[in-house]
Amino acid sequence: MLERQEQISQTIVTAQQMRDIEARIFAAGMPVAALMEKVAGLIFRRVQALYPNLQTQSVGILTGPGHNGGDALVVARELHFCGYDVKIYSSFSKLKELTSQHLQYAQSLGIPCYESIEQLSDCDLLIDGLFGFGLERTLTSAIAQAINQINSWSKPVVSIDLPSGLHTDTGEVLGTAIRATHTFCLGLWKLGLLQDHALEYVGKAELIDFDIPLADVQAVVGTNRIHRITQTTALSTLPLPRPAVTHKYKEGHLLLICGSRRYSGGAILTGLGARVSGVGMLSIAVPESLKPLLVAQLPEALIIGCPETQTGAIASLQLPENTDLSSFNAIAIGPGLTRDATPIVQQVLSSDRPLILDADGLNILAQMGTIPTLQKRQAVTILTPHAGEFKRLFPDLPDPMKDRVRAVREAAAQSGAIVLLKGARTAIANSQNSVWINPESTPALARGGSGDVLTGLLSGLLAQAKSKDISVEKIVATAAWWHSQAAILAGGERTELGVDAFTLTNYFIPVLASAWKELN
């Protein structure tokens, strides 16, 4: 049972996939009416739990023409039977047969039904059943005006499946959309709810699991599914616990190449991120003038001072005696580097080591030509761009601000790299068409240096992954989850304004300890 719940919680579907899954359920003999009753009953109980004092107040039900409207009408009926003051808004002339039957019955019970949204202006709570998954047309005229009116009231709104007006797959606002307080996603997570530009409309989202058979999900989504990163999956891929007998080189040897005279902080923050990953041995190559500063901040690391250019960038790698790039389990390059270090990026791209590129590493790669350069690499490559860097890396691909999942999928497929696209909902893809989305984050991470910390954390985990036989894709997903959870914890204690990148590094171990305790 727990395994099923975890797989359902991880799965994200498109509108077409959800249609296909429901078609299998109905073809197997599940009556549509029975499923509607079950789903609406679950919604009704959640509304009662969230708003326990509503019985002396008024609830408005926003009813659309499809089965989403039918779900809302069953909720209206149950609220009415429990003594709630219920009002229905329904302005559509044509309804699906089952929805029409529920509306007829609700009216026979004496529940008032109105075509004007103004009649619901005195309601204390609104339940949005206007449109479910699959909406693709732009909302206009009377229904758009009604939604705008609802939003102007600033009342709590519970949306069924998705806030009405959002595109199921892209999260795009189709003219206008309900700004929900809570969204009850039905059965499986819909992709649009996890796209950045939908977040201000979704409110607090939760899954209403109505027991979709796992076999039907697997038959439709296959192995190349879109995954929602959960705490359980993240913890299962961390390189813990360690064996009783081990040593530092068995726990991964990482090389960071970062920093310049102009941007020394990037090297420090990347090193601090790597430190909290637990990597066994950390080497950091920086310009010679930065070496004392790095030694003071990271005394346990091997700081490699390198010759520098007149501008203070690394001029050439000067690794310790009997050491070359093949001595490391992973390499990360970019934070604080400046573009004057282009030859160094070219050198590490030619190596056979797992490689993470960030910041100026990405900018230099874009100048070199992202796709042809990466197609020559034989080892794992991970790119960690924000939207602006993504556009420079992949100027001919879809705009990541419009459809993050499609953009990151195509970038990974064409480059052969694993691409982590930063954002409010970080999206990760590999060249085999699998995608992971981090479902939680915080604006506290909108601070300079937060990305450097992520690069250090990810590269430290990657250096440990090879000896632990952990897939690289899952390591990348785990790093994104851990990074955001640390920021959420820090923001809860210090407010979002109090989480600078240096402070963030102090919250990785507490959040991990808390998660392990909860899991065990």
List of residues 6+ apart from 35 with CB closer than 8 A: 25, 26, 210
Measured CA angle at 220 (ends 216, 224), to 5 deg: 125
CA 202 – CA 297 distance, rounded (Å): 42
At 12, is the secondary structure helix, strand, or coil?
Answer: strand
216 is in an annotated binding site: no
423 is in an annotated binding site: yes
69 is in an annotated binding site: yes
424 is in an annotated binding site: yes
132 is in an annotated binding site: yes
CA 225 – CA 13 distance, rounded (Å): 8
Specify the DSSP class assigned to residue 161. S
Q: Which residue has the tokens 């003038």?
A: 289
64 is in an annotated binding site: no
Residue 153: CB atoms within 10 Å: 15
At 193, is the secondary structure helix, strand, or coil?
Answer: helix
Q: Would you say 363 and 345 are in contact if contact means Cβ atoms under 8 Å apart?
A: no
68 is in an annotated binding site: yes
**Which residues are registered as beta bridge partners of 420?**
428
Number of H helices, E strands in the chain: 20, 19
What does the DSSP assignment read for 208-239? E-----HHHHHHHH-SSPEEEP-HHHHHHHS-
Q: Would you say 409 and 435 are in contact if contact means Cβ atoms under 8 Å apart?
A: yes
| Size of the chain in residues | 520
164 is in an annotated binding site: yes
At 11, is the secondary structure helix, strand, or coil?
Answer: strand
416 is in an annotated binding site: no
Strands (DSSP E) found in 125-175? 125-129, 157-160
85 is in an annotated binding site: no
134 is in an annotated binding site: yes
451 is in an annotated binding site: yes
137 is in an annotated binding site: yes
CA 302 – CA 325 distance, rounded (Å): 15
Residue from 405, 396, 451 nearest 429 by CA: 405
Reply yes or no: is the peptide bond before residue 241 cis, omega within 30 of 0: yes
128 is in an annotated binding site: yes
- Helix, strand, coil percentages in the chain from 3-state DSSP, rounded to 5: 50, 15, 35
CA 249 – CA 31 distance, rounded (Å): 60
What does the DSSP assignment read for 228-279? EP-HHHHHHHS--SPPSS--GGGG-EEEEE---SS-HHHHHHHHHHHHHTT-
List of residues 6+ apart from 517 with CB closer than 8 A: none
CA 500 – CA 507 distance, rounded (Å): 11
Binding residues for K(+): 68, 128, 164
Q: Which residues are annotated as a binding site for AMP?
A: 422-426, 451
The binding site for (6S)-NADPHX comprises 67-71, 132-138, 161, 336, 386, 452
Binding site, by residue number, is 67-71, 128, 132-138, 161, 164, 336, 386, 422-426, 451-452
